[in-house]
Homo-oligomer: A and B are copies of this chain.
Amino acid sequence: MSNWPRVPGIAYGGDYNPEQWPESTWTEDIALMREAGVSMVTVGVFSWALLERREGEFDFGWLDRVFDLLHEAGIAVDLATATASPPPWFSRAYPDTLPVTKEGHRLWPGSRQAYCPSSTRYRQAATNLARALAQRYGQHPALVMWHINNEYGCHVPQCYCDGSAAAFRNWLQARYHDVEALNAAWGTAFWSQHYTAFDEILPPRSTPTWANPTQQLDWYRFASDELLACFTSERDAIHEVTPDIPITTNFMGAFKPVNYFDWAPHEDVVSNDHYLLGADPSPHVQLAMSADLVRAAGHGAPWILMEHSTSAVNWQPRNLAKQPGQLARNSLQHVARGADAVCFFQWRASRAGAEKFHSGMVPHAGTDTKVWREVVELGKHLKSLGEVAGSRVQAEVAILFDWNAWWAVELDSHPSTDVQYLTIVRDYYESLWRQGVTIDFARPDDDLSAYKLVVVPALYLVTDQAAAAIGDYVRAGGHLLCTFFSGIVDENDALRLGGYPGAFRDLLGVKVEEFFPLAEGEVVQLSDDARGTVWTEALHPAGANVVATYVDGPLAGWPAVTAHHAGDGLGHYVTTRLDQDSLARLIARCCAEAGVRPPIIAASGIEVVRRRGDGASYLFVINHTQQEADVQAVGEELLTGRAVTDSLRLPAGGVAVVRETH
């Protein structure tokens, strides 16, 4: 169910925390919101301590007034359940709800999110508060959405307390039923780890050396599930009271501890928080990747950009402010990639607390500022894009992404610590992005038949079922581009024997006898002028053609890249981390062979994405360069209302959205 858009067009707003300001400020807030075109705000995200001042004693007075003020101004409310941070009285009354680290430290209140996700006491209290809010505001006409908790797992994704240990054992019992099945799955014959009963099992707490890998993997799964159980507990209580109000919680892009692909089906609509990373050399590519990932979580449906920033944040070592125009460029890039709502953290920059140097829609310096002027302008832009809402992003290429593979591939005691999942995914994502190709992220066991090309980066762990699905896709004519350290283990992190890459050996027509990771900083040359780092493999072709070989390094003369016809399809295998230029050439060739084309041909640094709705298509064009650029398009540019007859001139840093005429 994605019935959320009770706010017409592209919703616009942000987190609104009026309780941090005197009520005298609220009137100004409303007036400024109207000036900016704000249509929806999120209220109450961290208000537990002010909503329930003592156990069971609720104080809704101030929130009632906020609701009424907003409603009078025609601004919809996305009501947060306020459960992301229990109040001090709660932690003091129930100290065993506090989280415990891997080393056995208790984490104390004083910041936020100081709760153990497996604590039944916490879950109960949170659910009670959510229910009370639903009962109080469920019928309020301003209410359009529920926002449960906040950024689940952000600071405490895992708790190692005794209560969590007991919950872990229950989870394992449900998964394995009897302990010998667990012994088999975990390979406990190794290192004298055989369990005689579930009672003996612990979380992977601090231990003399590497904990059992499958124990660690199951711990990731368990911890993600525990957070989800917190969510569904609140959700169920609310759904009972307000079955028709959509429910969401805000994701954080590629956040390792929570499996958003598993989670999204439990929401009515998917939301995302995204912040630019100052240290990223191309943060707009990272933005695109985050947006595409969250869109994939919702199976392509429009989603909500629940948080981003008008300018600098406060939590990076050096928090870079945004350049003029960057606010709009970032926001519309999200819309281009499927967002139907653009919200900021937060409405008014704080005066106190740990986030006071986080930018807001209303800066410390007031409204005679770049930020405020751009906030107002963005409001107008979004208004003019109303018709785009509901349309969907079009993509011909899929990158397979999987939290289980991510968790497993980065476990300890592996051939090389230089193999980092997101780095490899990003390599391929960015190379496609630079060639103007729009991608979808997909689950490994999805039906892939709609894609012309599927990229498989470091899918170290793959289930038999997913491996079969990928094989079916290729043999039916699909094109595959698969990297090293894929197909290595089954779902229990047990090795697929007989030569690497176990699950894909036949499909790719190769057999690898040994990994040859490279030393730190080592670079090897390939026969096609490519360069490789991080990894090489002693590969024997078993049907595949050799596309490139190693010229030097530990495997001089051995194959580096291969291609294999399987059924009606074609599978490329890459045994090293290619440099960007070489990867661009490889991907260009794979795209050409697969018939993949960008939405339109544009200069380097011009991002083009097409959203397609009922009978209409919208071309988003974003100029990330410092030069103006011309782009071929025909239709109406919606931000300016101007007709585009055959080409569009985009200023440096500019954005255009063309309703296309075909």
Contact = CB atoms under 8 A, between A and B. Distances in A.
Contact of A353 (B114, B213, B369, B516): B213
A109 B202 contact: yes
A14 interface: no
Contact of A357 (B111, B371, B414): B414
B208 A155 contact: yes
Contact of A318 (B17, B204, B416, B513): B416
Nearest to A315: B413
Contacts of A626: none
A364 B499 contact: yes
B352 A492 contact: yes
A318 B518 contact: yes
A311 B514 contact: yes
Contacts of A49: 188, 192-194
Contacts of A86: 192
A377 interface: no
Contacts of A197: 89
Which bucket holds chain A's interface residue count?
Answer: 35 or more
A160 to B, nearest CB: 9
Contact of A520 (B155, B279, B312): B279
Contact of A354 (B206, B312, B413, B500): B413
A418 interface: yes
A contacts with B: majority SS? loop
Given A49-B192, A366-B498, A210 B317 contact: no
A174 interface: no
Nearest to A311: B514
Copies in the complex: 3
Contacts of A186: 352
A449 to B, nearest CB: 33
A495 B352 contact: yes
Contact of A155 (B205, B209, B359, B412): B209
Interface stretch (A99-107, A288-296, A462-470): A99-107
Most chain B Cβ neighbours within 10 Å, of A88, A368, A492: A88
Contact of A206 (B53, B108, B205): B108
A321 B516 contact: yes
Nearest to A165: B108
A181 interface: no
A604 interface: no
A218 B176 CA distance: 49
Interface string A82-113: 10111111011000000101011111111111
A219 B211 CA distance: 28
Contacts of A355: 190, 413
A47 interface: yes
Most chain B Cβ neighbours within 10 Å, of A54, A194, A213, A512: A194
A243 interface: no
Interface string A354-393: 1111010001111011110000000000000000000000
B554 A320 contact: yes
Given A364-B495, A493-B352, A513 B370 contact: yes
A494 B363 contact: no
A412 B469 CA distance: 48
A220 interface: no
A32 interface: no
A511 interface: yes
A202 B110 contact: yes
Nearest to A212: B110
B207 A514 contact: no
Contacts of A84: 192
B155 A192 contact: no
A1 to B, nearest CB: 30
Nearest to A411: B354
A232 interface: no
A498 B365 contact: yes
A229 interface: no
Contacts of A88: 193-196, 200-201
24 contacts: A46-B190, A48-B192, A54-B196, A86-B192, A106-B206, A107-B206, A107-B207, A108-B202, A111-B210, A113-B209, A187-B351, A190-B352, A312-B415, A312-B517, A314-B415, A319-B416, A323-B554, A350-B495, A352-B493, A357-B415, A363-B514, A364-B498, A366-B497, A369-B513
Interface of A: 17, 19-20, 46-50, 53-54, 82, 84-89, 91-92, 99, 101, 103-114, 154-156, 186-197, 199-202, 204-215, 278-279, 311-312, 314-315, 317-321, 323, 350-357, 359, 363-366, 368-371, 412-418, 492-495, 497-500, 511-520, 538, 554
Closest 4 pairs between A and B when the two form their complex, measured CB to CB: A187-B352, A190-B353, A155-B208, A49-B194
Given A156-B208, A311-B514, A371-B514, 14 more contacts: A87-B193, A87-B194, A92-B199, A110-B193, A187-B352, A191-B353, A317-B520, A319-B415, A321-B515, A321-B517, A351-B495, A351-B497, A352-B492, A354-B412
